[in-house]
Structure 1
Amino acid sequence: MNQNKRKLSFKDSSQETTKKSRKNKNNCTNELIQSITSIESLSNEVFYEIFDYLDGCQIYESFSNLNYRFYQLINSSCLLFKMIDYFTIIDDDFLNNWNEIISYNKEQIFSLTFYTSSRIERFLSSSTIQSFIHLQALFLYNVQSDILMSVLINLSSLPHLQSLTINMFNTSINLADIYQLVFNLSMLKYYKLSIDVTDLSISLPIPINEQHQSSIESLIIDHSCTFQQLSTIVSYTLKLRYLKLTHGFNDTSNKLLILPIKLENLTYFSLHIYSVEFHDFQRFIQKINSNLKKLNISIQCQDMTYLHAYQWEQLLLKYFPYLEKFYLMYSDCINNDNQYPIYSGGINQFSTSFWIQRKWILKAQIEGIHIKYVIYSYSKTWYNDFEDTNIEYSTSATLILTNFLSLLFVDMLFKNVKRILTITQIYHLIITEQHSSIRVLVQLIKLLPDLLTLKLRSLSLDEITNLDNIPLEFFSNSSGNHVAKVNIGEINDIEDFHLILNICPFMVYLKVKSINSMDIKLFLRTILKTVNDDDHYYLRSLCFHIPLADDQLVENLHKMMEYEELLNQFTIKRVADNIYLQWS
């Protein structure tokens, strides 16, 4: 590359400002000067990593006029530019800045990003896309159909283009025209097409021979697409490894047979489908011939057959024997009569050996009036902090509650919880609201007799303040619950702890993320005295999150408990900012 290449003139305009700023540097402290020197001593490789977070214009604005070393860095063939058309840049500045960089560094440009059709037009009026022979990635957002077609026609001459992302708000053309032009790009590995329109036309012909096969390995179809259309599209992409469809549906008016989908290299398939009954989905998924390792399915439908676990077992065993990770989300939909569809399957179907052996577990989520059921791969959770082995996956079913702040939703909440209990027992409860109502919490625990753990953010301050107005018999039946582990995000005072003990008297483990301004020694001393004074309490382990906790704090707490004889046999340790205490 030419070492005498001149700097960009849009930087020349700021030279006077730069000179003034240099005068001000004389007032800098020695410490600041030393820090600048240490930054300049960083290796070229470190700066290249920094440049990865910046676009071409930002790199020039920040580094081009510093010194000869950075001039060489910027003009080195080791540095590749990504050019991004930011909304905040006015049109004239955009074109001037880009044109000057392109004039002297075109061979270093590996990606172009445009956010409007008007910018694409202005760019094409001064440059030809096919001249960017080292271009590897192209991003076109909010692009109009006619502009897009003019760009796609010229992309076939780019020998290194591997990634193409297209976003359109509207289109009047047949998407087959777009797909066929894209499939002709010989080096393309990644392709994503997003269109925010539901009524689309895709009339692709079936490929005749291997000469019509695309090199694409990752395909994201982010627009409405029928199963029939999908099967035709992927018949052009037999090298696919990654496939994602975000708006899939079944065209019941079209009785055309779905073609077999033979994708031997496909290992990941993600499918979001709407209003597709299970038997239609089953008919489609059986057409896929691949060695899938990851399958991600999201369904919004009024067909509870999706929650019949045995049918999933048979389907996965027969058609996807190499599957390692499985994710299924079913959104329970209310019909026009404000009723949920009837579930006719048995309880705990997702707790059989098939699911336990694969560590695929169930969680249900209630968000307002909506219910979602999710099957996902188990990962270590807070309630297994002390248990690295012997995890009981058959009791992993979790219920997550969110967005039921209004009391108007409480009755609906209890109704939905009862509905979920016809499908699975619930062993773990997570409440995501900022403040949990004590009355609602107690009633929930009564509704969930198998509950083992409880996680919440904090208790309602108003109810804690008016705790004397809540009769003791309100908590009496809660003593029969089995909640053994509690995780609370925030405890404001010791009354919170006493209240938790009343609600969960058989609690053996308490985890607290924040004790706010309370003194950790005083708080720990009060808890341990409470436990020691009443043998009825089962609490035997605590975890506190203390910001900036260190080994000295752990040692001080250890000495305090020994000196005051708060515990006889105990262990205390620190893991990052968490302090764990166990005793017998």
Structure 2
Amino acid sequence: MTSFESLPNEIFVEVFEYLNGFEIFLAFDWLNIRFYHLIRTIPICLNFQHVQKNIFDRFCTIIQSNPSIKHHIHSLTLSNKITCGQIDLFFSRFALNEFPHLRSLTIVQVEQQNIDKIQPFLPSISSLQTFRMIELVNEPNEIISNLPLTNLRRLAVPSIKSIKTKSTITHLTLSGCTLDYQLFEYIPLLRYLHVESIYRAPTLLETKNHSIVYPAVCLKHLSIDNYECLFDEFEVFAKLMPNLQRLAISALDNLCMIDAQRWQRVIQSLLPCLQHFQFIFGLYCKGEVRKHVIEKFQQFQNHIWYKNHQWNIEYVLDTNAAVIYTIPYISNTYRLTRSTVKYSSNDFNEFDNVTDLTLSCEATVNNCSYFFSNIRSLTLESLIVNSDQHILDFTHMKSLQTTVSLYHLTHLDISFYSSVEPTVLLEIFTKAPHLSSLTIDLYVLWTFFDDESLCYYFRRMIRRLNISKITHHSFRICHDVERFCRIFPNLQRLTCTINHSDQLSLLLNRLKYLFSLKIVVIPLESLNWFKDEAIKFNVMYRITHIEVITDGPMEMFSTDLYIWTGRTDDDTNERIAHHSSMNHI
């Protein structure tokens, strides 16, 4: 017996809590009898968002051959986003009521055909405590109205208009809604509310002599990503939340919200329990309007705000915009250009929340007052008009390192540049050990293929690649595709353009770990070939037609192909066969 196998079951159970359910089964189900039985007694969390289709199929086969596993599935996440057709495929094999102990269900980019398979069984899942619908185009009220509310605590949906009975929801996330003073009628226990966008209703709400019928006395935390309504309306809304402790709000291009004195009155009279107030207010402005906005900004920086609340506030001016915010900056996205000027504060930690940064390389030379320590996604761009001068050289790299820590970086977008010095990319790889995703122009990428040092990093680190973001350059010949596949053997996600069906066939056959492939502007010949051959590749796919704006009267469409794929190799077949034999033990 190895030292690993000598560990008690309690240790393994604790470790398994950090792993995806299908990963546990694929790693341990065929190891020995002990693990075969152990993993069938633990709570299972399944997240199929980023998985090869062959692995998805394999685990579904395991469940079907051993139905008792369904009773241990406590959390399930399904997605159509990059794994197109996954939700429908899963519910063509299983009904929702086959998972009686399901406590959390998340569905991403749900489609109309999915609703018919989900909706009838929702009321029977009485154990459900968390339900999330993410990135929706249309509002599926038929699903929301059938949710079992008995034990539901956390809900993320487009809106709650269709909920007409009292619920026990404590945490709520809404994609968007109008300001409704009766919002809390059926959610009296709500403690946390996050609204991505509060937009204006067709008619203004009554703000005078409004009686408070349904207050949210339990609400402690309110977060609004984009507020478009009037301050008068927000002030009445604030009366519904007498015990609010944390407020985070962003309002861009909404001048009425930039009013320091009024905010002071609202906080003192309506929000007496407020301890943390964070905001971002901004406006696109020039000339006299800009001067007026700056005067309003300066009212936030008087000593009263800091003395009474210890809230640090600063503002920045750009060529056409002005933004004021509390420190630390609350949004996870930030754009720094050459013309961005910051007023007040040099707090070293003010941008710790920013994980997604768009940066003009010219800005790094003169903006030493900025430092971003926690960036996961970095987009580099240039304000130079002439595209021939879009060159990323080592001078930019030196100034970049004084502005951004690259240690946490996972995604780099340099597609704006028509030329990149190899030393720049090599330096980024050495400073960014977690970098696994790259967006770059295909022609620029070709220039690196004879650089053995860069190819080493491509092979070892890159799992996600987009070579068709701005330009739609395609592979020239099949030999280009073969060489590409040798340099990027571990790709899992790829966005590219092709000019022949043979190139698509090579990508699907040579990239062993690929699970998501997007072909931008696919030729009709290649599309027709793929439709005929798709069944041989064990894929699900979606075709989108995007209208292209032209100068003439003729309508033009760009056709994109999204493929969810995954090779079924000898190892897959061997494990499935092994599992079948274990089932008879």
TM-score, normalisation: structure 2: 0.54
**Where do residues 491-510 of structure 1 align in structure 2 (5 Å cutoff)?**
none
Query: Aligned with 2:19: secondary structure?
Result: coil
- 1:238 is aligned, of 188, 197, 216, to 188
**1:147 is aligned to 2:114:** yes
Residues 80 and 109 in structure 1, CA contact (< 8 A), matched pair in contact too: yes
Report the CA distance between 1:227 and its aligned residue: 0.3
TM-score, normalisation: structure 1: 0.54
Q: Deviations over 1:33-55 (max 9, x none)?
A: xxx93333333333223322332
Letter in 1 for 2:23: Q
Letter in 1 for 2:282: S
**1:307 is aligned to 2:258:** yes
In 2, Cα distance between the equivalents of 1:377 and 1:456? 12
Q: Deviations over 1:183-240 (max 9, x none)?
A: x421111111159xxxxxx8658x5xxxx20111111002x31002xx4443111111
Q: Deviations over 1:505-524 (max 9, x none)?
A: xxxxxxxxxxx9xxxxxxxx
* Residue of structure 1 in register with 2:178 after alignment: 226
* Residue of structure 1 in register with 2:19 after alignment: 54
Change (3 A) 1:118 1:185: farther
In 2, Cα distance between the equivalents of 1:428 and 1:112? 41
**Where do residues 130-169 of structure 1 align in structure 2 (5 Å cutoff)?**
130-145=97-112, 147-148=114-115, 150-169=117-136
In 1, Cα distance between the equivalents of 2:47 and 2:78? 9
Letter in 2 for 1:104: S
In 2, Cα distance between the equivalents of 1:92 and 1:404? 43
Report the CA distance between 1:108 and its aligned residue: 0.9
Query: Aligned with 2:215: secondary structure?
Result: strand
In 2, Cα distance between the equivalents of 1:203 and 1:133? 27
Q: Deviations over 1:7-41 (max 9, x none)?
A: xxxxxxxxxxxxxxxxxxxxxxxxxxxxx933333
* Residue of structure 1 in register with 2:376 after alignment: none
Letter in 1 for 2:57: D
- 2:157 is aligned, of 180, 186, 193, to 193
- How many equivalent pairs are there? 370
Change (3 A) 1:226 1:178: farther
In 2, Cα distance between the equivalents of 1:42 and 1:251? 61
Change (3 A) 1:64 1:427: closer
In 2, Cα distance between the equivalents of 1:377 and 1:401? 13
Query: Aligned with 2:237: secondary structure?
Result: helix
Identity %: 20
Letter in 1 for 2:284: C
In 2, Cα distance between the equivalents of 1:291 and 1:217? 15
- 1:404 is aligned, of 337, 345, 370, to 337
**1:285 is aligned to 2:238:** yes
Change (3 A) 1:281 1:94: farther
In 2, Cα distance between the equivalents of 1:436 and 1:338? 28
Change (3 A) 1:104 1:368: farther
Q: Deviations over 1:49-107 (max 9, x none)?
A: 3322332222111111222332232122x443435365521498257435436613121
Change (3 A) 1:283 1:342: farther
Residues 247 and 273 in structure 1, CA contact (< 8 A), matched pair in contact too: yes
* Residue of structure 2 in register with 1:481 after alignment: none
Residues 118 and 143 in structure 2, CA contact (< 8 A), matched pair in contact too: no
Residues 350 and 362 in structure 1, CA contact (< 8 A), matched pair in contact too: yes
Report the CA distance between 1:328 and its aligned residue: 0.9
* Residue of structure 2 in register with 1:321 after alignment: 272
- 1:109 is aligned, of 73, 76, 100, to 73
Q: Deviations over 1:86-141 (max 9, x none)?
A: 55214982574354366131211111222138443343344331231111111111
**1:270 is aligned to 2:223:** yes
Change (3 A) 1:50 1:226: same
In 2, Cα distance between the equivalents of 1:245 and 1:454? 29
Tell me: higher relative CO, structure 1 or 2? Use CA pairs within 8 A at least 6 residues apart: 2
Query: Aligned with 1:165: secondary structure?
Result: strand
Report the CA distance between 1:244 and its aligned residue: 0.7
In 1, Cα distance between the equivalents of 2:321 and 2:329? 24
Unaligned residue ranges in structure 1 (runs of 5+)? 1-35, 196-201, 380-399, 446-452, 466-486, 491-515, 517-584
Residues 330 and 373 in structure 1, CA contact (< 8 A), matched pair in contact too: yes
In 2, Cα distance between the equivalents of 1:375 and 1:190? 29
Query: Aligned with 2:87: secondary structure?
Result: helix
* Residue of structure 1 in register with 2:250 after alignment: 298
Letter in 2 for 1:248: I
* Residue of structure 2 in register with 1:181 after alignment: 146
Letter in 2 for 1:166: M
In 2, Cα distance between the equivalents of 1:38 and 1:320? 58
Report the CA distance between 1:330 and its aligned residue: 0.9
In 1, Cα distance between the equivalents of 2:93 and 2:372? 59
Unaligned residue ranges in structure 2 (runs of 5+)? 352-356, 374-392, 405-429, 431-585
* Residue of structure 2 in register with 1:389 after alignment: none
**1:71 is aligned to 2:4:** no
Query: Aligned with 2:67: secondary structure?
Result: helix
Report the CA distance between 1:274 and its aligned residue: 4.1
Report the CA distance between 1:297 and its aligned residue: 0.7
* Residue of structure 2 in register with 1:374 after alignment: 325
Change (3 A) 1:316 1:69: same
Residues 129 and 152 in structure 2, CA contact (< 8 A), matched pair in contact too: yes
In 1, Cα distance between the equivalents of 2:315 and 2:201? 30
Residues 75 and 103 in structure 2, CA contact (< 8 A), matched pair in contact too: yes
Change (3 A) 1:356 1:97: farther
* Residue of structure 1 in register with 2:541 after alignment: none
Letter in 1 for 2:14: E
Change (3 A) 1:302 1:320: closer
In 1, Cα distance between the equivalents of 2:318 and 2:36? 55
Change (3 A) 1:52 1:371: farther
In 2, Cα distance between the equivalents of 1:115 and 1:308? 42
Query: Aligned with 1:273: secondary structure?
Result: coil
Q: Deviations over 1:319-370 (max 9, x none)?
A: 11111211111122248x9964832547353332343342211133457754
Letter in 2 for 1:226: T
Change (3 A) 1:236 1:98: farther
Query: Aligned with 2:197: secondary structure?
Result: strand
* Residue of structure 1 in register with 2:53 after alignment: 89
In 1, Cα distance between the equivalents of 2:309 and 2:150? 40
* Residue of structure 1 in register with 2:88 after alignment: 121
Report the CA distance between 1:403 and its aligned residue: 3.2
Report the CA distance between 1:148 and its aligned residue: 2.3
* Residue of structure 2 in register with 1:14 after alignment: none
* Residue of structure 2 in register with 1:387 after alignment: none
* Residue of structure 1 in register with 2:451 after alignment: none
In 1, Cα distance between the equivalents of 2:130 and 2:182? 22
Higher Rg of the two aligned structures: 1
In 2, Cα distance between the equivalents of 1:241 and 1:275? 23
Query: Aligned with 2:298: secondary structure?
Result: coil
In 1, Cα distance between the equivalents of 2:112 and 2:143? 9
* Residue of structure 1 in register with 2:284 after alignment: 333
Change (3 A) 1:145 1:237: farther
Change (3 A) 1:88 1:338: farther
Residues 95 and 123 in structure 1, CA contact (< 8 A), matched pair in contact too: no
In 2, Cα distance between the equivalents of 1:248 and 1:346? 23
